[in-house]
Structure formats: C-alpha cells, structure tokens
C-alpha cells in the first residue's frame, strides 16, 4: 500500500521517524515490534476462524467480535509496512498519495472499530435489558446493517480529508511524528490557512468517537440500572460478567486514542519518544489485546479453543 522513497518532484515527500536517539538499535528494536504484530495478526485471524468454524459461536455478539477482529487485522496491516520499513531498511520517505492512502485506512478503520464497539454495547444492552426479545432484535440482518453502517459512516466522513490535504502546500522538512501517517500530524505540516480542515477534522471526531462514547456510556448506565434491580447478588455478578470483555475492549481502544489526541493538541513541545510510545500504543495495543481479552474472559471462546486444539492433538496422535 505504501510507496517509499517517492521520486515525484511535483508532490511533497514526508519523512517517518523511528525512535529518536536509538537509530543504531532499530534493527534490534524491530524484534519486539515483529513479535507484537505477529501475535496481533495470528490472534485476530484465529478469532475469525473460530467464529466461522464453530456453530456454538454463531451468535450476534460473536459476529460483532469477528468484525472487530477483521478491523484489527486491517489496522495492523495498514501500519506494519511503514513501521517495519523504518526499522529494517531505514526507509523513511513516503510520497503524498501513499501517505494519504495510509491515513485514510488508519482513520477509517479506527472509526469502524469505534462503531463496532457501539454495536457490541447495543448487543449487551438488549441481552440484559430485553432478553426475551434478543433473538427478534439482533437478527443476522441487524448485525450486517450495524456493521455496514459503521463502515459507511467512517469511509464517508473521512473521504474529504485526503482531498483537503492535497490542496495545501507543504513547506519545511515535512518530518512526521510517527512511523505512519496520522491526520493531525500531516495537517500540522501544511502551510496556509488550515482552519477549515482542522474544523472538519474536529467534526469527524465529534460525529464518530464522541457520539460513540456517549452511546456506550448511556448503554452501560441502562445496563447497571437493570442489574441493580435483580434480586440476587449472584445474578447481578453473572450479568455484569457478560459485559467484562466488552468493557475491557472499550478501555483498550479509547484510552490510547484519547491520550494520543490530547498529546497532539496540548503538548506540541513534548519529547519525540513520548509521541512514538503513544502512537505505538494507539495502533498496536488494540489489535494485540482484543484477542487476548476474549480468550481469557469469554468462556465460549475458551471452549472453542479447547475443542479445536483437542481435535488437532487427537488427529496428530492417530
């Protein structure tokens, strides 16, 4: 997807950074990054395989989990080429079109993931607050519509941003703060009046992530209200436990996202190492931890894993 070392003379070239001050050790630093990417790719691919192959997982909440895993695969594959190219080959340069393409996929997939988390919150809301109507409300078509709406919303709202950036001249060294193209980072390098693009970027955030956070919080307030009305403490705990995986996933996704946004807007003079650390947490931790969270907390996923690996061992034993 990325075209490094662009030779086009009529478009600007941007420069990625690795870890400032540790350039000589980039080849060694790439080892843990490779391991993390590998775990993320294998973990999410395994979730997709399990949800597809196991009939016991053919339920709305696991369909949403499969969409989440597919989105995490896309996020990992969107950033992996540029990150590893910097560490392995010191390939730091990228042309404008390649940069905007990577930026589009990163932000679109992030918006899709946020939308899927909202759909999963809705799934838990219906399951706990209206269990008798669960199968009637959360049908296959509902799951498909909610997932498709998350994709269409992200792609539609983000589509104008690359065109806005193409209209600006870029001056200076054009050094990015990350090993991938991030919209606020690219916008800070543009010359001229960027107030409209900056405002549109804020509108994009408000229409996606802010609205999603409000809906998720509202859903869990309703869920907690319903749980508190249950008569037995054991039922309260079991009901809340069904939401544990989703709550962990929401925290894993939004905390690095909010931290990186605050870092870009309010700490312009921060250490480059801090930018690198937060950007890595933003795009690596979510695809890495989501499969681990569901593997450790979801009994159905654990049962599917045990069944799948037991069958494999049995066949190998024969």
Q: How far apart are alpha carbons 277 and 23 in whole angstroms?
A: 15
User: Checking DSSP bridges between strand 13-15 and strand 93-95, what pairing results, if any?
Assistant: antiparallel
Buried b (16+ CB within 10 A) or exposed e, 188-226: ebbeeebeebbeebeebbeebbeebbebbeebbeebeeb
Residues facing residue 93 across a β-bridge: 15
Q: What is the pLDDT of residue 310?
A: 67
Q: What is the pLDDT of residue 161?
A: 93
- Element (DSSP H or E) covering residue 91: none
Q: How far apart are alpha carbons 116 and 168 in whole angstroms?
A: 33
What is the number of structural domains in the chain? 1
Q: What is the pLDDT of residue 172?
A: 79
Instruction: Please compute the mean of the pLDDT values over residues 293-311 and round it to a whole number.
Output: 81
Inside any domain, residue 212:
yes
Q: What is the pLDDT of residue 3?
A: 44
Inside any domain, residue 8:
no
Q: What is the pLDDT of residue 156?
A: 95
Inside any domain, residue 209:
yes
Inside any domain, residue 9:
no
Q: Which domain holds residue 224?
A: 24-308
Q: What is the pLDDT of residue 2?
A: 44
Inside any domain, residue 84:
yes
Inside any domain, residue 14:
no
pLDDT 10s digits, 182-240: 898 899 899 888 899 989 998 999 999 999 999 999 999 999 888 888 776 666 566 67
- Selection from 72, 95, 65 nearest residue 1 by Cα: 95
Inside any domain, residue 291:
yes
Tokens 């075209």 correspond to what residue? 3
Q: Is there a contact between 239 and 140 (Cβ–Cβ < 8 Å)?
A: no
% the chain with pLDDT above 90: 50
Indicate yes or no: pTM above 0.85.
yes
Inform me whether the pLDDT recorded for 96 exceeds 50.
yes
CATH number of the domain to which 284 belongs? 1.20.1070.10
Joined together, the tokens standing for residue 106 give 């990163």
Q: Is 190 helix (H, G, I), strand (E, B) or coil?
A: strand
The DSSP 8-state label assigned to residue 214 in this structure reads H
Inside any domain, residue 257:
yes
Q: What is the pLDDT of residue 264?
A: 66
């Amino acid at each position: 997807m990325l075209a490094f070392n662009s030779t086009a003379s009529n478009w600007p070239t941007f420069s990625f950074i690795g870890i400032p001050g540790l350039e000589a050790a980039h080849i060694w630093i790439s080892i843990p990054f490779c391991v993390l990417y590998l775990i993320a790719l294998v973990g999410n691919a395994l979730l997709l395989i399990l949800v597809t192959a196991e009939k016991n997982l053919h339920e709305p909440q696991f369909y949403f989990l499969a969409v989440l895993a597919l989105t995490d695969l896309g996020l990992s594959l969107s950033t992996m080429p540029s990150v590893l190219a910097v560490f392995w080959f010191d390939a730091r340069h990228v042309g404008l079109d390649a940069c905007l393409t990577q930026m589009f996929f990163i932000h679109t997939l992030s918006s899709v993931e946020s939308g899927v988390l909202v759909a999963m919150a809705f799934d838990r809301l219906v399951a706990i607050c209206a269990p008798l109507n669960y199968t009637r409300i959360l049908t296959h078509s509902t799951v498909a519509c909610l997932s498709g709406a998350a994709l269409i919303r992200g792609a539609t709202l983000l589509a104008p941003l690359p065109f806005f950036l193409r209209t600006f001249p870029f001056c200076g060294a054009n050094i990015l703060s990350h090993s991938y193209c991030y919209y606020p980072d690219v916008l800070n390098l543009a010359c001229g009046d960027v107030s409209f693009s900056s405002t549109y970027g804020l509108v994009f955030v408000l229409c996606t992530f802010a609205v999603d956070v409000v809906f998720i919080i509202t859903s869990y307030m309703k869920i907690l209200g319903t749980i508190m009305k249950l008569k037995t403490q054991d039922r309260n705990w079991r009901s809340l436990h069904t939401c544990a995986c989703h709550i962990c996933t929401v925290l894993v996704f939004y905390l690095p996202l909010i931290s990186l946004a605050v870092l870009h807007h309010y700490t312009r003079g921060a250490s480059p190492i801090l930018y690198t650390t937060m950007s890595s947490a933003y795009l690596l931790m979510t695809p890495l931890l989501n499969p681990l969270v569901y593997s450790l907390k979801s009994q159905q996923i654990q049962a599917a894993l045990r069944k799948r690996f037991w069958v494999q061992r049995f066949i190998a034993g024969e």
